[in-house]
Structure 1
Amino acid sequence: MREIVLINITGEDRPGLTAAITGVLAKCGVNILDIGQAVIHETLSFGILVEIPAPGNASALFKDLLFAAHQLNQQVRFTPVSEVEYLQWVGGQGRPRYIVTLMARQVTAGQLERVSSSIARHGLEIERIDRLSGRPPLDAPPARSKACIEFSVRGEPADPEALREELLLTAQELNVDIGFQRDSLYRRNRRLAVFDMDSTLIEAEVIDELAKAAGIGDKVAAITERAMRGELDFRASFKERLALLKGLPETVLADIGASLRLTEGAEVLFAELKRLGYKTAILSGGFTYFARQIQQKLGIDYVFANELQIVDGLVTGVAVEPIVDGQRKADLLRQLAQQEGLSLEQTIAVGDGANDLPMLGLAGLGVAFRAKPLVRRSARQAITNLGLDGILYLIGHRDRDSQ
């Protein structure tokens, strides 16, 4: 007759504590069925589920553990677990698991309450909660601070789409970002990341900047906005906007290129992706001239964008085929994945406009970044409040992994 017991130990963390406790357990020949440990602000929470082969040894084991815990200034609690309860717990390990990622400039109790309530309301059980962001300094500027809490949850929501809609609404109401994705083998093993450029890698729409230089900024910007919202066909609107730039001097390009600013978090993200062995690409409906500059700054492997035709020092206003539109981006993503010997599940795609939706839907992880409302609703993941480096949290990366 065996005995199963859950042992919980709490107190101030100290070196050698785990070795001391497991040393006591080893003397009684117990089997470890489960074990977990967490330390929050130097306070330890240590749990061990053990099987005691000979129940007669339990009293001596508990006595020795109580003595060891006293010497280590720890509190210890014993909870018997029946075989039926244990078998139910074992049976639950085959249930689906999901990851809910809460990202904000600063995490509050109210945010955690809303997210955890949604998880419970849809029949999921929180199995683990981890902080992926670094330890926050109290005086960090709110505009540049970042925080991330990851929930590992178990179960299958009755209506996954309803849960996703609820989390999206919560994110909008609380000005946070909330990711919801299945916890799969691919989550931490993706190896290709592709990005839109304008309003994603850089804080501008280059074609709008060119139009400003040509004195038609408002007219072109209005067309761009409608195209990015999905109200206009991208190919047609691109040709229309490009035609309006006919006669623009080539000398303007250098000034605009020099003024382009990288989006918050871009340098951190690409440095880490490179360290992790990712291949990266720009798939842009913008122009190769500017994409090459961003490629050099960030160390990007591939660039696919539109050619800005120039004759006799002037922009011709003629679109050069093939135009990189939404379908072309999806085709290029598929092509690059095949070229790198990867499945599409191993890819990440990031963009902000309606013309990015095909590649966002095709990639294993599609992220709408500071996107138009239509794109945020349609993409599986969205980041609006943090910088591009928030994408690292969606693949389970911790800030300390970069240090």
Structure 2
Amino acid sequence: MRQTFHTSGPVLMGDQTNSQEFHLSLEQITQAPADCTLRYLDFHGTQAKLGVEYSGTAPFTRDGIKLSPAPEQAAPLQASWCVTLLSPSASLAQLQQLMRFFDGQQWTLVAADTLAQRPECTVIRFQIEGDLNFDRARLSCLRVADQLGADLVIQAAATQRVPALAGFDMDSTLIDAEVIDELAKITGIGDQVTAITQATMAGDMDFCESFKRRMALLKGFSEKRLAEIAQELPLKEGAYELLTALRALGCKTALLSGGFTYFAEFLRRERLPLDFTYANELKFAEGALTGEVVEPIIDGDRKRKLLTEIAEKLNISLERVVAMGDGANDIPMLNLGELGIAIHPKPKVRMQAPQAINLFGLDAALYLFGLNDRQIEKLG
């Protein structure tokens, strides 16, 4: 999973670092005057178990004990909503700010448990109750996430389960590239095509029209060169791990792309455990692209329609469907089923998607399915 920031906490060169667990009330946690690195939080009832690392003076006046081992599985759900903090540098100050945010929203913290407690990735799931409007709550969480330097995801507690079907965009989601832009760079028209792609993914240009314009610019591109490019496409961080885990959990997966079947099929055949692939057909003549398109073009609405059709074919209710993507043409399917997770999204998409992960790889979605690191490790 992607690490963006350094571990927080007042750890100084030459100072001894202490790792301890404190048993405290939520009020005592919020009133601690000193910051330190946060390892975990476990809260069920009246007191919380707080694992921290610090140097110098302890953040609390009471004595601490040895850190507890990570739990074998995530805690049972007790509330209507879950708010998940995914931090690359978790600190007590982050936790305090988040608890003040909950109070300000008049959300009651019912329980909390830690799904990941690694130095580069701390994931804490807060179970809350409150009379909330999801869209307003989602936008509020995004604002706080920016202040914290972390991801903060809200979802209905009922969606904290493994999906039965997951749909994925390809370019900049499963792979760390926009294929059509890579082809354009090779032909010397990279800047021109990239500008069209960026406008499209940001939602400033109709996808079908932009696709036709970009394809026309690629007329004459060699089919042989396509095969070489397919071998070089980098996978997005966490893509293989997520898809492998979903297969082990019995979830069906589908690639739904406004890109090309040539590359989608290569990924399914050679790189990723995918069950279904849908993308745009390339048209060739004498071993080169003609620049023409094969209708119908897979745009945002068609992605949503195809994912719906797969669910119907497999007799899967939309409540068990998850979608993941990054661009404006993914928004329709992101708003289709159980969860719609924007991965490293464009700003407009982040504001419109039900959920968003900006600082970690695709496999961070497993935490939103209610799994902790110990459970995820067993899937490998």
For 2:121 and 2:155, locate their aligned partners in 1 and report how far apart those are by CA, in whole Å: 21
Matches within 5 A, 1:40-189: 97-133=80-116, 135-136=117-118, 145-157=120-132, 159-184=133-158, 186-189=159-162
2:326–2:349 CA contact under 8 A, matched in 1: yes
* Corresponding residue number in structure 2 for 1:24: none
1:118–1:167 CA contact under 8 A, matched in 2: no
Q: CA deviation at 1:163?
A: 2.6
1:276 matched to 2:258:
no
| Structure whose alpha-carbon radius of gyration is higher | 1
Q: Deviations over 1:234-283 (max 9, x none)?
A: 00000000010001111211221121111111111111111110000100
Q: Which moved more, 1:216-225 or 1:287-296?
A: 287-296
Give the 3-state SS of the residue equivalent to 1:368 in structure 2. Answer: strand
Q: CA deviation at 1:187?
A: 2.9
User: Measured at CA, do residues 250 and 346 of structure 1 come closer, stay the same or move farther in structure 2, by a change above 3 Å?
Assistant: same
1:295 matched to 2:262:
no
- Greater relative contact order structure (CA < 8 Å, 6+ sep): 2
1:164–1:180 CA contact under 8 A, matched in 2: yes
User: Measured at CA, do residues 164 and 38 of structure 1 come closer, stay the same or move farther in structure 2, by a change above 3 Å?
Assistant: closer
User: Measured at CA, do residues 171 and 39 of structure 1 come closer, stay the same or move farther in structure 2, by a change above 3 Å?
Assistant: closer
* Corresponding residue number in structure 2 for 1:387: 361
For 1:166 and 1:38, locate their aligned partners in 2 and report how far apart those are by CA, in whole Å: 25
Structure 2 residue corresponding to 1:333, chosen from 291, 307, 310: 307
TM-score by length of 2: 0.77
Give the 3-state SS of the residue equivalent to 1:209 in structure 2. Answer: helix
Q: CA deviation at 1:229?
A: 0.3
**Structure 1 segments of 4+ aligned residues over 4 angstroms from their partners:** 34-41
For 1:119 and 1:160, locate their aligned partners in 2 and report how far apart those are by CA, in whole Å: 14
For 1:292 and 1:267, locate their aligned partners in 2 and report how far apart those are by CA, in whole Å: 15
Q: Deviations over 1:98-131 (max 9, x none)?
A: 0000012121222222222222211111111111
Q: CA deviation at 1:189?
A: 4.4
1:211 matched to 2:184:
yes
The alignment's C-alpha RMSD in Å is: 2.4
Q: CA deviation at 1:36?
A: 10
Q: CA deviation at 1:160?
A: 3.9
1:246 matched to 2:228:
no
Give the 3-state SS of the residue equivalent to 1:100 in structure 2. Answer: strand
Letter in 2 for 1:228: M
For 1:322 and 1:112, locate their aligned partners in 2 and report how far apart those are by CA, in whole Å: 49
Q: Deviations over 1:137-158 (max 9, x none)?
A: 5xxxxxxx3221100112222x
Q: CA deviation at 1:39?
A: 6.9
For 1:38 and 1:115, locate their aligned partners in 2 and report how far apart those are by CA, in whole Å: 15
For 1:190 and 1:100, locate their aligned partners in 2 and report how far apart those are by CA, in whole Å: 18
User: Measured at CA, do residues 124 and 261 of structure 1 come closer, stay the same or move farther in structure 2, by a change above 3 Å?
Assistant: same
* Corresponding residue number in structure 2 for 1:319: 293
For 2:82 and 2:277, locate their aligned partners in 1 and report how far apart those are by CA, in whole Å: 32
Matches within 5 A, 1:11-22: none
1:256 matched to 2:229:
yes
Give the 3-state SS of the residue equivalent to 2:106 in structure 1. Answer: coil
1:118–1:166 CA contact under 8 A, matched in 2: no
Give the 3-state SS of the residue equivalent to 1:220 in structure 2. Answer: helix
Q: CA deviation at 1:361?
A: 0.7
Structure with the bigger percentage of helix: 1
Q: Deviations over 1:317-368 (max 9, x none)?
A: 1111121100100001110111111111101100011000000011210011
* Corresponding residue number in structure 2 for 1:51: none
* Corresponding residue number in structure 1 for 2:11: none
TM-score by length of 1: 0.73
Letter in 2 for 1:339: K
Q: CA deviation at 1:396?
A: 1.0
1:195–1:349 CA contact under 8 A, matched in 2: yes
1:365 matched to 2:339:
yes
Q: Deviations over 1:347-399 (max 9, x none)?
A: 11000110000000112100111111110000110011010011111111111
1:190 matched to 2:143:
no
The percentage of aligned residue pairs carrying the same residue is 45
User: Measured at CA, do residues 38 and 391 of structure 1 come closer, stay the same or move farther in structure 2, by a change above 3 Å?
Assistant: same
* Corresponding residue number in structure 2 for 1:230: 203
Letter in 2 for 1:284: S
2:261–2:280 CA contact under 8 A, matched in 1: yes
* Corresponding residue number in structure 2 for 1:343: 317
1:397 matched to 2:352:
no
Give the 3-state SS of the residue equivalent to 1:132 in structure 2. Answer: strand
* Corresponding residue number in structure 2 for 1:92: none
* Corresponding residue number in structure 1 for 2:6: none
For 2:135 and 2:302, locate their aligned partners in 1 and report how far apart those are by CA, in whole Å: 28
Report how many residues are paired. Answer: 312
Gapped regions of structure 1 (runs ≥ 5): 1-9, 13-33, 42-94, 138-144
For 2:231 and 2:317, locate their aligned partners in 1 and report how far apart those are by CA, in whole Å: 37
Structure 1 residue corresponding to 2:283, chosen from 309, 313, 332: 309
Give the 3-state SS of the residue equivalent to 1:362 in structure 2. Answer: coil
1:283–1:304 CA contact under 8 A, matched in 2: yes
Q: Deviations over 1:3-26 (max 9, x none)?
A: xxxxxxx999xxxxxxxxxxxxxx
